[in-house]
Structure 1
Amino acid sequence: MDSTIALILIQDGIVNGAIYALLAMALVLVFAVTRVIFIPQGEFVAFGALTLAMLVNGNVPGTVWLLLIAGIGSAVMETWGAWRTRRYSGLPKVYAMCVAYPLLMWWLVPMLAQMQLPLILDVLVTLALVVPLGPMLYRIAYQPLAEATPLVLLIVSVAVHFALTGMALVFFGAEGWRTPAFVSGNVDLGFTMVSAQSLFVVATAVVLIVALFLVFEKTLYGRALRATAVNRRGARLVGISTNMSGALTFTVAAFIGALSGILIAPVTTIYYDTGFLIGLKGFVGAIVGGLVSYPIAAAGALLVGILESFGSFAASAYKEVIVFTLIIPVLLWRSLTSHHIDDEE
């Protein structure tokens, strides 16, 4: 291996690591606020990529049906909850977001798909379809079990993953899809040539990470999420709704997952089940950060990306083994150096 090959591998590793860093931060956020190990994070990556690819090719994405099904399910559960508590004031908003909005997208998206919109508009339509699935999924699968143990929530996550994977196969099919590059050409950095698409992916990831930092530090909702992450019981005592925090967290996670899928769709073929492995690699980065530290999780995800890149060059058949083996010494080290922390400590 010479320096040219090493620079190419580092470039690929940083691009992949930027995506894994976004997913790792989303996983840390979801776990900190809701205690859910969000295994279906990878499904949102696949949904974002496949939805955009189908729109670009003039097809109606199956996400319109997923959104409609999830919206009706959320509305039914909210109606049942309102009937039990005899509080009906919030139902009009629920029906608008969970029934009227999915029906509007179900009617509008087929017309937009036939119009062959510019790529950036297709991206916006994709986000409008995929991101609302996050809070709906939380309402259906996780909110009723919000006080359950992390083990129960993990089992639910596994079940949700298999359910979403099966629905993705039904609505998207087994065919792989790709999208056009957002930018084309190469950029000369002096010591190496870098594709403009790679720089676009890394720059977008950095901008999103900075934006998330500003949201958590400067906005009221961001501080509410931080308070819930630090102490759920204390957050409830000062009037912060843990249900609102959970729904908002899943919205952010769905946005990050969908955007990550959109970013990688031009550089790799995406299938209905591709997101699982991508999400797992983000999870390895999150584990490096102990599911609590955002900067360490992001750094761990970059390490995963670079390790995967060099592993694929040295032993492509074992690159996944090399990546996932990283989790063993990290878990061993954390088990020896950390102490048990109670759920509400």
Structure 2
Amino acid sequence: MDPTVLAFLIQDGVTNGAIYALLGLALVLVFAVTRVIFIPQGEFVTYGALTLASLDAGRLPGTASLLVCFGVAAFLLDVWEVRRGLQLSALARNALLNLALPLAIYGIVVLIDPAALPPIGKALLTIALIAPMGLYLYRIAFRPLADASVLVLLITSVGVHLAMMGLGLFFFGAEGLRGQPLAPGTYTIGFLPVSAQSLWIYGTTIAAMAGLYFFFEKTILGKALRATAANRLGARLVGIRTQLTGGTAFVLAAIIGAVSGVLISPVTTIYYDTGFLMGLKGFVGAILGGLASFPVTALAALGVGLVEAFASFFASSYKEIIVFALIIPILLWRSLAAGEHEEE
């Protein structure tokens, strides 16, 4: 292997690994706060990428209608939950959050000309369409099961993944789409050409890590999330609203997924089911990081990207097997290192 091929493989590995790092960070965030192994994280990536591609084409993205459907479902669940002690103020608050917000976003998308927006404007509109889905998804599927076992939450997560993949097929169709880059052009570093979109990916991953560190270490809400992760019952006893922290974690995960979709959309063609495989590779990084550490997860995800790049060169037919086999020695080591404990 000559140095040029080696440099290109490293570049591809780092670019893919940066995306997997974003997904791994989102998975660790959700699991730390809610104990949910969030398998549908990849669907947020798919929705973000397909939404951006639809906006680039000047079409109304399917996520606009899907967001309204999610909001209506969340509103009906809230009304049913408090049906015996329904108060006008609570009803108005629920209507604003679950009905007015998605309808307002839908109206903005319908009224403006998406194709006339600059790339950054389309990206921000994409994030605005995807971010509330995290809150509504938590309200519909996971908040009623907040105190359930990890196994029940995992089964629910699998069901949500299948539902979201089917909804993606219904609202976007089976045709693959590709978006426009946030910034055109290519820069040469030494003898290696690096696209501006790749620089966006690297910078966003670094910014996400720094932002999550600042959020958890320096803000009251971040500290509340950490307290909920450490002891859910104890957090309730000291007055932390665990429902709020769970919803916040899912919104952040949806934002990270949407950003990942915006970044990956110009790089490869995205189909309605593409996000599942990407989410699994982010999950491999999260497992290697112990589903606990953000920096270790990011480094492990970069390693996953590098392994995938070199595996695709030396054994392209087995690259997926090689990538997913990475978790086997880690799971074996953790199983042997962990002492016996009573099952919850």
Q: Could you say which TM-score interval applies, normalised by the shorter chain? A: over 0.9
CA distance in 1, matches of 2:177, 2:342: 45
1:66 aligns with 2:66: yes
2:21, 2:302 within 8 Å by CA — same for their partners in 1?
A: yes
CA distance in 2, matches of 1:42, 1:256: 10
Structure 1 residues without counterparts, runs of 5 or longer: none
CA distance in 2, matches of 1:86, 1:340: 48
Match of 1:245?
245
Q: What is the TM-score of this pair, normalised by structure 1?
A: 0.96
CA distance in 2, matches of 1:218, 1:342: 35
Match of 2:299?
299
1:64, 1:106 within 8 Å by CA — same for their partners in 2?
A: yes
Match of 1:202?
202
Deviations 1:198-238 (A, max 9, x none): 12210111112111111111111011001111111111111
User: Which letter does structure 2 place at the counterpart of 1:155?
Assistant: I
Cα 1:314–1:85 change in 2 (3 A) is: farther
Aligned positions of 1:165-314 closer than 5 A: 165-190=165-190, 192-314=192-314
Cα 1:233–1:39 change in 2 (3 A) is: same
Three-state SS of the structure 1 residue aligned to 2:199 is helix
1:21, 1:299 within 8 Å by CA — same for their partners in 2?
A: yes
Three-state SS of the structure 2 residue aligned to 1:90 is helix
Structure 2 residues without counterparts, runs of 5 or longer: none
Q: Displacement of 1:342 after TM fit? A: 7.3
The runs of at least 4 aligned residues of structure 1 exceeding 6 Å deviation read 341-344
1:82 aligns with 2:120: no
1:59, 1:113 within 8 Å by CA — same for their partners in 2?
A: no
CA distance in 2, matches of 1:257, 1:341: 35
CA distance in 2, matches of 1:112, 1:315: 48
Match of 1:338?
338
2:57, 2:115 within 8 Å by CA — same for their partners in 1?
A: no
Match of 1:143?
143
CA distance in 2, matches of 1:127, 1:104: 14
CA distance in 2, matches of 1:336, 1:178: 45
Cα 1:89–1:342 change in 2 (3 A) is: farther
Cα 1:81–1:336 change in 2 (3 A) is: same
1:48, 1:261 within 8 Å by CA — same for their partners in 2?
A: yes
Cα 1:66–1:208 change in 2 (3 A) is: same
Three-state SS of the structure 2 residue aligned to 1:132 is helix
Q: Displacement of 1:83 after TM fit? A: 1.7
Q: Displacement of 1:86 after TM fit? A: 4.5
Match of 2:21?
21
CA distance in 1, matches of 2:340, 2:110: 52
User: Which letter does structure 2 place at the counterpart of 1:26?
Assistant: A
CA distance in 2, matches of 1:95, 1:142: 20
Q: What is the aligned-residue identity percentage?
A: 56
Three-state SS of the structure 2 residue aligned to 1:319 is helix
CA distance in 2, matches of 1:342, 1:302: 35
CA distance in 2, matches of 1:56, 1:193: 26
CA distance in 2, matches of 1:29, 1:136: 17
1:17, 1:303 within 8 Å by CA — same for their partners in 2?
A: yes
Cα 1:292–1:174 change in 2 (3 A) is: same
CA distance in 1, matches of 2:184, 2:341: 49
1:177, 1:271 within 8 Å by CA — same for their partners in 2?
A: yes
Match of 2:158?
158
2:176, 2:269 within 8 Å by CA — same for their partners in 1?
A: yes
CA distance in 2, matches of 1:258, 1:276: 14
Q: Displacement of 1:113 after TM fit? A: 3.9
Q: What is the TM-score of this pair, normalised by structure 2?
A: 0.96
Three-state SS of the structure 2 residue aligned to 1:184 is coil
Deviations 1:285-333 (A, max 9, x none): 0000111121111111111000001111111121111100111111111
Deviations 1:49-79 (A, max 9, x none): 0001101100000001110110001001111
Cα 1:159–1:218 change in 2 (3 A) is: same
